[in-house]
Amino acid sequence: MKPYLYTLALPALLLWSTQAFAQQLHKLHIDDTGKVLKQHQVVHVKVGHTVTWVRHTGAAKPWYAKFDDSPCAEGSEFGSDRAKTCTIKVACHAKGDAGCRAYSYNSSTGATASMHDPTVVVDP
């Protein structure tokens, strides 16, 4: 009986862990005008989650994102020519904590291009 349970438990554990990990990665797509695609305009994340940006029409195309007040461990500026990953690191453990809020940022096709203002919301 025990070997049978182990053969069921291992695949279930692997499936659960890959799904949990995938939910921690947020890939936000920027269109050719510099706007984040509508379905990614507001993204809800938790502390420890990772946010990255990509150009929707081609991964090799330039992109840029900048927070005035950043929830990211890596700083406030991200782009195809600089830091590419934002790891959410704020004090947000329970509803009402100061870090549990919306963080606006600017997105564009480059640091000197027209800016747009999507939002990352950090939830407990």
- Domains and their CATH numbers in the chain: 25-122 (2.60.40)
Residues whose CB falls within 8 Å of the CB of residue 102, separated by 6 or more in sequence, listed in order: 42, 119, 120, 121, 122
Question: What per-residue confidence (pLDDT) applies to 6?
Answer: 46
The pTM of the full predicted model, rounded to 2 decimals, is 0.80
pLDDT digit string, tens, across residues 53-82 = 999 999 899 999 999 999 999 999 999 999
Q: What percent of the chain has pLDDT over 90?
A: 81
C-alpha pair distances (Å), 69 with each of 11, 24, 74? 42, 21, 12
pLDDT digit string, tens, across residues 17-59 = 333 444 699 999 999 999 999 999 999 999 999 999 999 999 8
Question: What per-residue confidence (pLDDT) applies to 22?
Answer: 42
